[in-house]
Amino acid sequence: MAELEGKVALVTGGATGIGLAAATLFAAEGARVFITGRRQAELDAAAARIGATAIRGDVSDLADLDAIAARIAEAAGRLDVLFANAGGADTLATIAELRPESFDEVFGTNVRGAAFTVQKTLPLMPDGASIVVTGSTSASRGNPGFGTYSASKAALRQYARVWAAELAPRRIRVNVLVPGPTDTPGLRGIAGDPAGVPALLAQMAASTPLNRVADPAEIAQAALFLASDRSSFITGSELFADGGEVQVFPAA
């Protein structure tokens, strides 16, 4: 029996990287999948490949979130699984270099975006629904230049604890999926120049005991576990799919 048979799932940031891999797996496991993102062409290509429905929208825009929720309500009438995954960092900066615009951009997407994605889709969720948010190993570490991104993911981790408590009376579970370095356009983008990608990937691989970066499909398996009833007694938790980065090489 497919793990998500008959379920309705929304994957934000579902056109590329971890979101695309999760949306693909959720659809293969029987879910009716909606994907969102800001770039229409990427969304349309991904939706056609997966057999999903694409809804263009920016998670930091409340009107877009209202429109996304309305589209799902109209098309499917409910939402069983929310994978609040859209996010990233526009640029890396030390505290001395930090610009207010960059802070607003990162927190606007990663924290405000996730919070209001949950709020706006909550009325569509039946009792027993599952919310998975994408965290980061950066939330547990002190990597120079990653401050704003790390702080945003730490905020999200704490939000998930509170949402888990608030939604427990409705048996809605909320968990954080913590990917380690994963080979996605988002990770490659950190290199800036494409010529720097191999060195970046090698450096990221060395940060894990398994000495490699993850394939997005590996992270998708962890997302499926948290999304499905197989994790029925897990809430307010975080699942590290990080090649051991945080648990084996803890920050000093």
Nearer to ligand NAP, 146 or 171 (CB): 146
Cβ proximity to ligand NAP: between 2 and 251 the closer is 251
Contact between 60 and ligand NAP per CB under 6 A = yes
Q: Which of 3, 58, 90, 218 binds ligand NAP (CB under 6 A)?
A: 58
Nearer to ligand NAP, 32 or 157 (CB): 157
- Does 147 sit near ligand NAP (CB under 6 A)? no
Residues assigned a catalytic role: 149
* Residue 112 binds ligand NAP, judged by CB under 6 A: no
Q: Is residue 207 close enough to count as binding ligand NAP by CB under 6 A? A: no
Q: Establish if 87 lies at the interface with ligand NAP (CB under 6 A).
A: yes
**Among residues 4, 8, 9, 18, which is the contact residue for ligand NAP, using CB under 6 A?**
18
Q: For ligand NAP, which residue of 22, 32, 80, 113 counts as binding (CB under 6 A)?
A: 113
Residue 19 interacts with ligand NAP (CB under 6 A): yes or no: yes
In angstroms, what is the minimal distance from the CB of 149 to ligand NAP? Answer: 7
Work out the angle at residue 101's Cα, subtended by the Cα atoms of residues 57 and 198, and round it to the nearest 5 degrees. Answer: 75
Between CA 11 and CA 32 the distance in angstroms is 11
Stretch that binds ligand NAP, among 53-61, 95-103, 192-200, 222-230 (CB under 6 A): 53-61
String of DSSP letters for the chain: --TTTT-EEEEETTTSHHHHHHHHHHHHTT-EEEEEES-HHHHHHHHHHHT-EEEE--TT-HHHHHHHHHHHHHHTS--SEEEE-----S----TTT--HHHHHHHHIIIIIIHHHHHHHHGGGPPTT-EEEEE--GGGGS--TT-HHHHHHHHHHHHHHHHHHHHHGGGT-EEEEEEE-SB-SHHHHHTTSSGGGHHHHHHHHHHTSTT-SPBPHHHHHHHHHHHHSGGGTT--S-EEEESTTHHHHS---
Is the Cβ of residue 124 or residue 149 nearer to ligand NAP in the bound state? 149
Provide the binding-site residues for ligand NAP, judged by CB under 6 A.
12-13, 15-19, 36-39, 42, 58-60, 85-88, 109, 113, 134, 136, 179, 181-182, 184-187
